């Protein structure tokens, strides 16, 4: 695994030593770091399982037909085995994590909370599987450095903000690789990407491959995602730092901006929130603004 860029790349992670999900004073340096695509790492912020919930610390609780266990906005649990009592207890646990993740984001980023109606929560997920045992196609393989982009759900530049908690009971870290700033990724790969075709986007929509018309922005993000994942030299030698996130820790990043790959670990809770890029403290730092600047095109028309 590449380490030679580590000194500069270590700055891609900002460690914050708090123990409470409610941040008492918002810190503008943390906000700028997050919006610049850095990972905010809270090594001493933990999600705690109750004694009864410890029984969910097994991969056997997941329905093998589902990738993860998830709780949607209506409180509906998906992807779990067990009886009705197990489901109620699991939903309660995942819902408690959702509330704490929300509390962290609202207190860390108060302006996002002001536009609360625009901060949209995705389903909350619980991932009990061991990362090293997953086998996937190269495109779906999250062990390769990538920025997140959705093939079927065009988002027109809406941000993907994610809160992760390593809840491993045996002290096993979740190991990520974190890559270079988004603008460097874009400059590196944009010259290689296929041109956008509105006609092809219309066909994908008509065939219900996409839920709405894929914008040029969504096309470019998918192209960047694929270009990164399919380049073995970039995976091996591209700028990156290996970061173990300790058991009992939390980290937050914009996963559409921060190149990331998961290499090892088991048992994680995850909350995704979506925010319009215009509602950021600095909308100019968003992937949409960066790609607009680099291409000279609006990308979302
Ligand atoms: C992703 O969901 O985009 C990931 O890379 C997964 C991260 C993880 O499982 O730790």
180 CA from centroid of ligand 1 (Å): 17
- Using the mean position of ligand 1's atoms as its centre, give its distance from the Cα of residue 33 in Å: 20
Q: What is the DSSP letter of 133?
A: G
Report which ligand 1 atom has the smallest distance to the Cα of 176: 10
pLDDT of amino acid 4: 46
pLDDT tens digits, 52-62 = 999 999 999 99
Task: Answer whether 125 contacts ligand 1 (Cβ < 6 A).
Answer: no
188-199 burial: b if 16+ Cβ within 10 Å, else e: bbeeeeeebeee
* CB proximity list for 220: less than 8 A, separation 6 or greater: 190, 193, 196, 291, 295, 299
* Angle at CA of residue 162, ends 159 and 167, nearest 5°: 175
Pairing type for strands 266-275 and 159-166 reads antiparallel
Per DSSP, 147 falls in state: -
What single DSSP character describes residue 172?
P
Distance of alpha carbon 168 from alpha carbon 270, whole angstroms:
13
174 lines ligand 1 (CB under 6 A): yes
User: Given a cut of 50, is residue 1 above it in pLDDT?
Assistant: no
Domains of the chain: 12-292 (2.60.120)
Question: Would the CB of 142 count as within 6 Å of ligand 1?
Answer: yes
| Selection from 197, 202, 195, 176 nearest residue 255 by Cα | 176
Residue 116 binned pLDDT confidence (cut-offs 50, 70, 90): low
Three-class secondary structure assignment of 214-241: CCHHHHHHHHHHHHHHCCHHHHHHCCEE
8 A C-beta contact, residue 5 and residue 240: yes
Q: What is the DSSP letter of 213?
A: P
Joined together, the tokens standing for residue 301 give 């028309």
Please give the helix or strand (H or E) that residue 121 lies within, else none.
strand 120-130
Using 50, 70 and 90 to split pLDDT, how confident is the model at 37? very high
Rounded (10°) CA dihedral 171, 15, 56, 274: -160
Rounded CA-CA distance 63/2 in Å is 36
pLDDT at residue 140 tops 80? yes
Question: 126-154 burial, b if ≥16 CB within 10 A, otherwise e?
Answer: bbbbebeeeeeeeeeebbbbbbbbbeeeb
Global pTM?
0.95
> pLDDT, tens digit, for every residue of 256-273?
999 999 999 999 999 999
Reported ipTM exceeds the 0.95 cut: yes
C-alpha angle 22/258/144, rounded to 5°? 125
Report the pLDDT value the prediction gives residue 6, as an integer from 0 to 100. 55
Mean pLDDT within 202-212? 97
Distance 164 CA to ligand 1 centre (A): 9
State whether the beta carbon of 145 lies less than 6 angstroms from ligand 1.
no
With beta carbons less than 8 A apart as the criterion, state whether 271 and 124 touch: yes
Question: Which residues neighbour 126 within 8 Å (Cβ) at sequence distance 6 or greater?
Answer: 56, 68, 69, 70, 71, 90, 93, 94, 97, 268, 269, 270
Joined tokens for residue 13: 């992670």
Band (pLDDT 50/70/90 cuts) for residue 7 is: low
Pairwise CA distance, residues 200 & 267, whole Å: 40
């Amino acid at each position: 695994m590449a380490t030679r860029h580590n000194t500069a790349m270590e700055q891609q992670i900002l460690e914050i030593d708090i123990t409470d999900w409610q941040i008492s004073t918002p810190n503008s340096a943390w906000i700028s770091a997050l919006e610049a695509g850095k990972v905010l790492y809270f090594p001493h912020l933990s999600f705690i399982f109750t004694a009864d919930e410890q029984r969910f610390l097994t991969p056997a609780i997941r329905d093998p037909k589902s990738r993860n266990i998830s709780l949607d906005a209506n409180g509906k649990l998906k992807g779990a085995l067990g009886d009705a009592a197990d489901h109620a207890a699991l939903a309660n646990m995942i819902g408690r994590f959702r509330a704490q993740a929300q509390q962290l984001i609202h207190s860390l980023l108060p302006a996002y909370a002001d536009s609360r109606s625009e901060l949209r929560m995705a389903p909350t997920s619980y991932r009990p599987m061991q990362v090293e045992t997953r086998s996937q196609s190269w495109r779906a393989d999250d062990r390769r450095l990538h920025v997140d982009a959705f093939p079927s759900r065009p988002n027109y530049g809406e941000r993907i903000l994610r809160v992760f908690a390593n809840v491993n009971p045996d002290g096993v870290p979740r190991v990520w690789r974190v890559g270079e700033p988004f603008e460097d990724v874009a400059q590196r790969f944009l010259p290689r990407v296929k041109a956008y075709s509105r006609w092809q986007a219309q066909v994908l929509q008509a065939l219900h491959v996409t839920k709405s018309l894929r914008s040029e922005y969504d096309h470019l993000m998918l192209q960047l995602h694929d270009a990164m994942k399919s380049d073995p030299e970039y995976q091996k030698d591209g700028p990156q730092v290996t970061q173990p996130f300790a058991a009992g820790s939390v980290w937050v990043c914009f996963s559409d901006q921060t190149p990331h790959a998961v290499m090892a670990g088991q048992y994680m809770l995850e909350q995704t929130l979506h925010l319009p890029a215009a509602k950021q403290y600095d909308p100019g730092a968003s992937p949409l603004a960066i790609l607009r600047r680099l291409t000279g095109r609006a990308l979302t028309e």
